[in-house]
Structure 1
Amino acid sequence: MQFIASEHPHKRYNPLKGEWVLVSPHRMKRPWDGQTETVNNDMGPEFDPTNPLCPGVVRSSGEKNPFYTSTYVFKNDFPALLEDTPLPPTSDDPLFRIEGVQGTCRVMCFHPKSNITIALMSVDEIKTVIKSWIEQLEELGQKYTWVQIFENKGTMMGCSNHHPHCQIWSCSFLPNEPRIKDINQRDYYNKYGRPMLLDYVERELKAKVRVVVENLSWVVLVPFWAIWPYETMVLPKRWIKRMNDITEEEKTDLALVMKIITTKYDNMFKTSFPYSMGWHGAPTGSNWDGYDHWVFHGIYLPPLLRSATVKKFISGFELLAQCQRDLTPEQAAERLREQSEIHYLVSTKK
């Protein structure tokens, strides 16, 4: 028999995390009788006086939002990390280790209107969001080892508020995901003398099969080792360690590819596509120098698989053994490429 990646089960290696993912493309033929999700395409009103993220609304903390007209950042009213907290007692037992942590959590509203998403914002508006992210990174990165900027979009991804916003968690330690990426990128750099993700981008641009969107500065692709069905990475074409290294032109180009990929997501199943996304760059804190092995990149992790109502579950084998996917990354990239760059809500109004 001849191996065909789109038909035969196989596993793929993720060099960023040093782990494997099982690919089972033949399972896409199986019927689905499991859980389906409720789809609500109503984006809601522009302004809701009961929504704590809207301009001029009083939040549960008692603080009143200003009547902001662009991005707005405030300290999370229910933070997961605190700036000042007592340290736990030390333990010499290797089975019961505990350490104290410090940090701060912020919320950034992207836009004053609640019925707007990144896909429906203008390129200039998205560029303003990027500039605000950079400001937060530079401020918080002076004190904290890691600044995690992330967006949870849609109730399917646990988002409790549909107003366009993200969160910024800054912490005194290097969390698990970036810690593992730091180790593997460093090992690759020491062995080959080049950043891993720069080599990876070059190979993907030659192959073209997993590239979804590309412009002069950025590439959006379905990674060879993707776990989520329509997972994508946003990668620079030149060596960039952190978001604050990007030029004005690269900010515009980044805003453009963000608008295109989120539009393609929405167009896939004619719904406001849920996802978790975030940015990974070199660690910050007291050591801004070094980290030549790091390449700044973004990750989109959407759960939808077959339709707007059927999502991928991480359970069973995935939790107990190894991550697994059905749709191949090449098939996912092709389907995303086929989607229009004009949002379906915009095209239906014409």
Structure 2
Amino acid sequence: MAEAASKTTLPDHDPSCYLCPGNRRAQGDINPKYESTFIFVNDYSAVKEEQAEYKLQDQDGSLSALFLRAESVTAPNAQYRYMQIFENKGAAMGCSNPHPHGQVWVTTGLPEEPALELTQLQKYRREQGGANMLEDYATLEASKQERVVYENAYFLAVCPWWATWPFEVMVVSKQHKRALVDFGAEEREALAECLAEVTRRYDNLFETHFPYSMGLHQAPLEGTKEEIEASHFHIHFYPPLLRSATVRKFLVGYEMMAEPQRDITPEQAAARLRNCGGELYRKKLE
């Protein structure tokens, strides 16, 4: 299905945007001038018990265009079980505001997706005498190079063989690291580099602001020793575009009722992403 392509240029400042620097947000707070990373409580937090009435509110700083620094995140309170860090980018992924922003949801329970992963990570660790599944998987993919999009000393970006989305990518730590807080300064810089390389390739692939949902999976904030030690830091990118900036993939019919089907192989996807590195396409138009 064809949809309108994302705009090539975004305004540096939109007076109607509740996330732009200096603007007033939905609940009345004034944003700072963003001289560094800014963290604020979601004006309409999805996991808050008492919700304020929602009023609909009717810019290029995306990951692909930035030099990034990955910041460590610690638990806000020991009563919480899990912290889900994620970003939705683009209207195709339900993002109503073009201003790039991420979110952190902290819950008292372990969500379904990370829980399923953790179950398998623990099973592998028990059966393989303490080995870590994603560390072994990263080693295997690095040796084959068939599905690798980008790698540096600490991280591997790969189109996993089980991927559902056409250009799905997983960023995985090469060494066994449980969570962001396990990374040193050099590793954090390497993670930032890897994220920039992946998202720049996304934008270059179809020369558009490439939409996606991206989320970090890491150790629970609270859990058993086995759960914590079996966890392995990784990041999922789920992008919907299929053949161009205006044609996306939909999971419908057979895929919803039976099982997902690949439109291109992970090897083909990885090769296309590998080959569109280099300078961001928008920079060439300036």
Q: TM-score range by the shorter chain?
A: over 0.9
Q: Deviations over 1:65-106 (max 9, x none)?
A: 223222211111111112x67xxxxxxxxxxxxxxxxxxxxx
Q: What SS does structure 2 have at the residue aligned with 1:291? A: helix
Does structure 1 retain, via aligned residues, the 8 Å contact 2:156–2:173? yes
Q: Distance in 2 between matches of 1:208 and 1:68?
A: 39
Return the match for 1:318 from 255, 269, 272: 255
Matched with 1:16 is none
Does structure 1 retain, via aligned residues, the 8 Å contact 2:21–2:32? yes
The TM-score, its normalising length taken from structure 1, stands at 0.76
What does 1:153-302 align with in structure 2 at a 5 Å threshold?
153-193=89-129, 194-285=131-222, 291-302=228-239
Matched with 1:118 is 63
Q: What is the identity, as a one-letter code, of the residue corresponding to 2:95? A: C
Q: What is the identity, as a one-letter code, of the residue corresponding to 1:339? A: C
Return the match for 1:49 from 15, 20, 24: 15
Q: Deviations over 1:30-80 (max 9, x none)?
A: xxxxx2110132432111111100112111212222232222111111111
Q: Deviations over 1:264-300 (max 9, x none)?
A: 1111001010000010011113657752221110011
Q: What SS does structure 2 have at the residue aligned with 1:204? A: helix
Does structure 2 retain, via aligned residues, the 8 Å contact 1:195–1:292? no
Q: What SS does structure 2 have at the residue aligned with 1:335? A: helix
Does structure 1 retain, via aligned residues, the 8 Å contact 2:8–2:208? no
Q: What is the identity, as a one-letter code, of the residue corresponding to 2:254? A: F
Q: Distance in 2 between matches of 1:140 and 1:287?
A: 19
Does structure 1 retain, via aligned residues, the 8 Å contact 2:83–2:221? yes
- Bigger radius of gyration, 1 or 2? 1
Does structure 2 retain, via aligned residues, the 8 Å contact 1:141–1:147? no
CA positional deviation for 1:140 = 2.5
CA positional deviation for 1:226 = 0.6
Q: What is the identity, as a one-letter code, of the residue corresponding to 1:224? A: W
Does structure 2 retain, via aligned residues, the 8 Å contact 1:142–1:286? no
Q: What is the identity, as a one-letter code, of the residue corresponding to 2:233? A: F
CA positional deviation for 1:141 = 5.9
Q: Deviations over 1:303-329 (max 9, x none)?
A: 001111111101111211112212000
Matched with 2:26 is 60
Q: Are positions 1:329 and 2:276 aligned together?
A: no
Q: Are positions 1:140 and 2:69 aligned together?
A: no
Q: Describe the shift of the 1:325–1:141 C-alpha distance in structure 2 as closer, same or farther (beyond 3 A).
A: farther
Work out the percentage of aligned pairs sharing the same amino acid. Answer: 40
Q: Distance in 2 between matches of 1:159 and 1:49?
A: 18
Q: What is the identity, as a one-letter code, of the residue corresponding to 1:330? A: E
The Cα RMSD (Å) is: 1.6
Q: What is the identity, as a one-letter code, of the residue corresponding to 1:139? A: A
Matched with 2:54 is none
Does structure 2 retain, via aligned residues, the 8 Å contact 1:275–1:300? yes
The TM-score, its normalising length taken from structure 2, stands at 0.92
Q: Distance in 2 between matches of 1:40 and 1:78?
A: 26
Q: What SS does structure 1 have at the residue aligned with 2:102? A: strand
Q: Distance in 2 between matches of 1:281 and 1:171?
A: 14
Q: What is the identity, as a one-letter code, of the residue corresponding to 1:47? A: H
Matched with 1:7 is none
CA positional deviation for 1:139 = 3.2
Q: Describe the shift of the 1:190–1:289 C-alpha distance in structure 2 as closer, same or farther (beyond 3 A).
A: closer
Does structure 1 retain, via aligned residues, the 8 Å contact 2:217–2:234? yes
Q: What is the identity, as a one-letter code, of the residue corresponding to 2:234? A: H
Q: Are positions 1:306 and 2:205 aligned together?
A: no
